[in-house]
Amino acid sequence: MASRPLFYAFSFLAFSCLCSCRQLQEMANQFNLESVREFLTREEDSIVFSLIERAKYPSNLPAYDPSYLAGGVFRNYSLLDLFVRETEAVQARAGRYQNPEEIPFFPKILVPPIFVPPYKYPEVLHPAAASVNARNAIWKMYFNQLLPQFTAKGDDGRYALAAAADLVCLQALSRRINYGRFVAEAKFRDAPEDYTRAIRAGDRDALMRLLTSEAQEETVKRRAEKKAKVFGQDVTVNNTGRNESSRPKYKVDPAVVYHLYGDWVIPLTKLVEVEYLLHRLD
Amino acid sequence: MASRPLFYAFSFLAFSCLCSCRQLQEMANQFNLESVREFLTREEDSIVFSLIERAKYPSNLPAYDPSYLAGGVFRNYSLLDLFVRETEAVQARAGRYQNPEEIPFFPKILVPPIFVPPYKYPEVLHPAAASVNARNAIWKMYFNQLLPQFTAKGDDGRYALAAAADLVCLQALSRRINYGRFVAEAKFRDAPEDYTRAIRAGDRDALMRLLTSEAQEETVKRRAEKKAKVFGQDVTVNNTGRNESSRPKYKVDPAVVYHLYGDWVIPLTKLVEVEYLLHRLD
């Protein structure tokens, strides 16, 4: 492999850090319930874009079938499995998982060396709870439940493109759902006494009640559905930016996005929040 | 590196191919001016989504500065350079560049082995002209002209995320611009006599006139600008799907997208078309 010498060159830990302490302090100060809500709202756009981009390709089942790769010499990995592992390894070397917002799907293969200097991200999370995540649930949900709902049956051979699009979907969903740790931290700081009581009692139900707002959740589901309509329409020069046909056609069914949020994104985020809070006073 | 044994396992060429001849024939038959136009229109969405996603992060200049990576031990590569090379290598092993629609930015490091079986894509392009591309011009345009126009000045440390978003932008632009080969092939098949005369005479100006429609180009630019407005607005549950404020705010300035198409995407695509045609009868 001609890139091998380059690859070895990465095996080196560098030391400079350009980020000033003032910037870090500013980023830490900006963390509150308002900034958390802005983050989650912006991530909706990313999730919807990523689904629309994956829907360009049909289901492309060979990408997920280990027998497609010469039946077993790859230890029962599918093209998608290998692709995600290798891509996460590259992104780890570029420092992606130094950022506490980011959680890889295959952390065991992501040992250093990395090729970037350490970067001091603001310390927002409680260290004992920072590693809480829902990556396994997200992985299973995406491939077993979601993917068949928004891709057309078929095979166009663009397996590497489909796998790259899958990874963008997975990373967007993971970023959003595992941001539950930050959501929980912001809520805890906003009402420490209420949360401390429930945490000390180990009362999951009480925690779930404290962090649930059904009205707010319905707004989020409706907004995500609306984004699927707005971003997934066929835009022409002359239409108004709305899909005006009596039977509008969208690149991803808005109902799928509504249920993705209602059945998975919101419940899994809350699960991450509860687990985080249970370790918040460790 | 714990992923090393897995990596070596990829160094193996497998042989099965699941794609049936009938599917290939169907895909080849579907190639015409109409299918080419549909492809280009759909790619506009991908390009606009990718710019909006890159605009989530500020300029993050250290990602592009070779001195950030321990001054020189990486042979003057920046984080972005290394990231693109390594990611393209992974995608090549997954078969991305078997597909004639896809052209890598760093082909020299993309020698086999790959870990997927060969896939027989429909043969649409004239072999002697199939390798025409504008990758170097796209690379320079993106970093020197475009990126500073649609990212805010700043540094949030998310260099790996910014680099991943850059690569998605670059790949979307490359896919669209280098699809000029397919555009030229479709136009050639539609009017072979007109084109043959100009090709035999080596007359670039005549070719450029044949494949230019100013009215159509203006439509494309306006539509791309409109997509930046529709996809880059803040969607709420109650708005109409249009940005109704008197001073609407978009995630990427629609004028930047209009000029990206007018100054770069359309001219570079036409350059690829002309170069392709000049080799069409070789």
Q: Is B175 on the interface with A (CB under 8 A)?
A: no
Determine the residue among B3, B15, B171 to mutate to test chain A binding: the one whose Cβ has the most chain A Cβ atoms within 10 Å: B3
- Among partner residues B9, B119, B227, which is closest to A157 by beta-carbon distance? B119
Q: Counting beta carbons within 10 angstroms of the beta carbon of residue A100, is it exposed (0 to 12), middle (13 to 18) or buried (19 or more)? A: middle
Cβ-Cβ contacts under 8 Å, A108 against chain B: 2
Q: What is the pLDDT of residue B4?
A: 38
- pLDDT tens digits, A188-219: 999 999 999 999 999 999 999 999 999 999 99
Residues of B in contact with A14 (CB under 8 A): 69-70, 73
Backbone angles phi, psi at B49, to 5 degrees: -55, -45
B contact residues 185-214, partner A, Cβ 8 Å cutoff = none
The pLDDT-based confidence of A119 (bands split at 50, 70, 90) is: confident
**The pTM is what?**
0.91
Find the closest chain A residue to B240 by CA distance: A242
Render each residue's pLDDT in chain B as its tens digit; 282 residues.
Answer: 333 334 333 333 332 334 455 666 666 778 999 999 999 999 999 999 999 999 999 999 999 998 888 755 667 899 999 999 999 999 999 999 999 999 999 988 766 667 788 888 999 999 999 999 999 999 999 999 999 999 999 999 999 999 999 999 999 999 999 999 999 999 999 999 999 999 999 999 999 999 999 999 999 999 999 999 999 999 999 875 555 556 689 999 999 999 999 999 999 999 999 999 999 999
- Residues 246 through 275 of chain B touching chain A, CB cutoff 8 Å: 251
Compare CB distances from B94 to A110, A156, A159 and report the shortest one's residue: A159
| Complex ipTM over 0.95 | no
Say yes or no to pLDDT of A98 above 70. Answer: yes
Task: Give the closest of A45, A94, A111 to B83, CB-based.
Answer: A94
Tell me the pLDDT of chain A averaged across its residues. 88
